[in-house]
Amino acid sequence: AVEKPAAPAVKAPEKPLPLPAVEKEASSSGYSKEVDAMAEDEPMALKESGVKPAATKPAKSAPKPSVPAGFSSELADMAADAPPEGEAESSRSYSTPSFSGSSRTRRDILASLSNEFKSVDYENVDVRDVIKHLASEAKVNIIYGSDVSGPVTLHLTDVPFSEIFMTVLRIHGLVADQVGENILRIVTPATLKSEGSVAITQTRVIKLKYTMADDIKTAVDAVYKAEKRNGSIIGDKVTNSLIVTDTLDGIASIERLLAKLDVRPQQVMIEAKLIEVKLTNEVHFGIQWDYLGFQQGEALGKQGNTLIGSPATTEDSPIKLPFDSNTMEVTMPPVGAGGRGTGVSLPAKAIAGAFTFGRVTNNYWLSATLTAAASQGKVKVLSDPKIATLNGKKASINITTAIPYTTSNVASTGVTSQQVGTTTTGIKLDVTPTINADGRITLEVNPNISQPSANVTSAVAGVPAVDTREAKTTVLVHDGETIVIGGLITDSVANGVTKVPFFGDIPLIGWFFKKKSVERTRVELLIFVTTRVLPS
């Protein structure tokens, strides 16, 4: 066997080797990037004045320089590769991971502090020692500013830990600035403000997922104004992105805000039924909807125990419900006999042209009632549109007719020219749903009904007159409930002549062979609006 020569003994260095130079570029906190990127291995406190390195011991394989107490093992490995003495320290630089990049969203340390109840008893203790003790409890790394000093006297019992931490900062006029994934820097507001004015800024493009750039920009601008920040926000409609120019800490704050604002919005399905009811002598008492689950006090326009629009009759109003081959007749009690009324009774007894509002909680019976009434010729479904909209966004339903008209213009030369214009009449319904935290829906409803005026003399310069009825209201309903808008009554008169050919045209004698009739028709328009929250 061949003996291997023994390895030469390694002599320990007389003094610790210097730490490697760090990049000169400062982070948003004013410290080196190495400090910003420290791992959260264990709590530590770094002083801006520096920490003296501890004595080192020779390693078995090769000498390693000492590392100040509390530094992470990552910095220790970096120190092992330090250049020898005499070599320029700036000859080597190190890359540092960024915690505010798009690939990782760092947590908000202050927001994540525990709310566990604690008791503390500090009597004339240095504020740095107090904060260090609290940081150790929270497993958070702390950097002190040079202006942090003073004694603390504090006695608290059964107080949430987060409040204890913030109370210590508040009574000494200090603020906590997050400069890393698990690093808080404790300074005075004046220091933080002065450093923020000279902090290095950068620009980042943040792609939005669900919300529009202009809408988010308005909210972020308001935050910038309230917090008196110096950064800027630009919204790009083409890519639906925000272009943010700010410090690293400011950008991280914006990213945390966007995480709460740029979320998938809920959608609401709006179903509208436009029903036309012909009020003839046969149905002059109207239809009672008393059994549709309507509750007293849950409608607008309520007068006493009856609702605007409820008939003042004391007679029952039968409706036949064709559920099967055997027709079933249901007699609804009149309002005068103790019925509740619903705000959709026919005919409406409200002021001419006024709207009445009600709410129906049983859509099954509502559908059955409309079907039964339609089969008997009492109602006519004009339209049954459905539309979906985002939470908080307006949905519009328009069922209109464009009426053409001509106007004449006489020029100074005496030449007359005619122009053709149009005016729109019909039904316009705007609904804006807002889903509340309890699951109910707040509806802003704006119905607009217009029709040509019966007074033909009201036309001006050829433009026809239009009668318009409009209402705006806000109601609160449960998911799947229906609101009813009624009281839109139209009167019309039709003249008719029935005669025997030839003989009916003979003067005087012709009246023995013909008759003249006048038929007056009253029609009420009802609008049923049902809202349902669509699953995400």
Q: What is the mean pLDDT of the segment spanning 1-18?
A: 46
d(CA 242, CA 34): 29
Of residues 179 and 80, which shows the higher confidence score? 179
pLDDT tens per residue across span 230-252: 788 999 999 999 999 988 878 88
State the CB neighbour count (10 A cutoff) for residue 373.
20
Q: What is the mean pLDDT of the segment spanning 207-221?
A: 91
Q: Which amino acid is at 453?
A: S
Instruction: Using pLDDT thresholds of 50, 70 and 90, give the confidence band for residue 205.
Output: very high
d(CA 44, CA 110): 17
Q: What is the mean pLDDT of the segment spanning 227-232?
A: 82
Q: Is 273 helix (H, G, I), strand (E, B) or coil?
A: strand
Looking at 380-501, list the stretches that DSSP marks H as alpha helix, in order from N- to C-terminal side.
none
Instruction: Using pLDDT thresholds of 50, 70 and 90, give the confidence band for residue 57.
Output: very low
Instruction: Using pLDDT thresholds of 50, 70 and 90, give the confidence band for residue 484.
Output: confident
pLDDT beyond 60 at 149 = yes
Whether residue 485 contacts residue 529, with contact meaning beta carbons closer than 8 Å, is answered with yes
HEC profile of 224-263: HHHHCCCCEEEEECCCCEEEEEEEHHHHHHHHHHHHHHCC
Whether residue 484 contacts residue 358, with contact meaning beta carbons closer than 8 Å, is answered with yes
Q: What is the pLDDT of residue 248?
A: 81
Residue matched to tokens 């004009």: 382
Cβ partners under 8 Å of residue 436, min gap 6: 442
Q: What is the pLDDT of residue 528?
A: 86
Distance spanning both ends of the chain, measured CA to CA: 78
Least confident of 8-17, 278-287, 296-305, 461-470: 296-305
Instruction: Count Cβ neighbours within 10 Å for each residue of 229-255 and write b for 16 or more, e otherwise.
Output: bebebebeeeebbbbbebbbbbbbbbb
* Contacts for 148-152: CB closer than 8 Å, 24+ residues apart: 148/172, 148/174, 148/186, 148/187, 148/188, 150/126, 151/124, 151/125, 151/126, 151/127, 152/122, 152/124, 152/125, 152/126, 152/127
Instruction: Using pLDDT thresholds of 50, 70 and 90, give the confidence band for residue 454.
Output: low
pLDDT tens per residue across span 406-447: 887 777 777 878 888 888 888 899 999 999 999 899 999 888
Q: What pTM does this model have?
A: 0.49
Cβ partners under 8 Å of residue 463, min gap 6: 405, 407, 421, 423
pLDDT beyond 50 at 506 = yes
DSSP label of 173: T
d(CA 10, CA 56): 14
Whether residue 479 contacts residue 532, with contact meaning beta carbons closer than 8 Å, is answered with yes
Please give the domain boundaries of the chain with CATH numbers for all domains: 200-261 (3.30.1370.120), 272-408+419-534 (no CATH)
pLDDT beyond 80 at 35 = no
Instruction: Using pLDDT thresholds of 50, 70 and 90, give the confidence band for residue 486.
Output: confident
Average pLDDT, the chain: 68
pLDDT tens per residue across span 158-192: 999 999 999 999 888 898 888 778 888 888 888 87
Q: What is the pLDDT of residue 158?
A: 92
Q: What is the pLDDT of residue 363?
A: 57
Q: What is the pLDDT of residue 435?
A: 94
Tell me phi and psi for residue 508, to 5 degrees.
Answer: 65, -60
Q: What is the pLDDT of residue 459?
A: 54
pLDDT beyond 70 at 290 = no
pLDDT tens per residue across span 81-135: 444 443 333 333 333 333 333 444 567 888 888 899 999 999 999 999 999 999 9
Cα 85 off chain centre by: 61
DSSP label of 305: T
In terms of DSSP bridges, do strands 441-452 and 473-477 run parallel, antiparallel, or are they unpaired?
antiparallel
Of residues 225 and 373, which shows the higher confidence score? 225
Q: What is the pLDDT of residue 389?
A: 94
State the CB neighbour count (10 A cutoff) for residue 375.
13
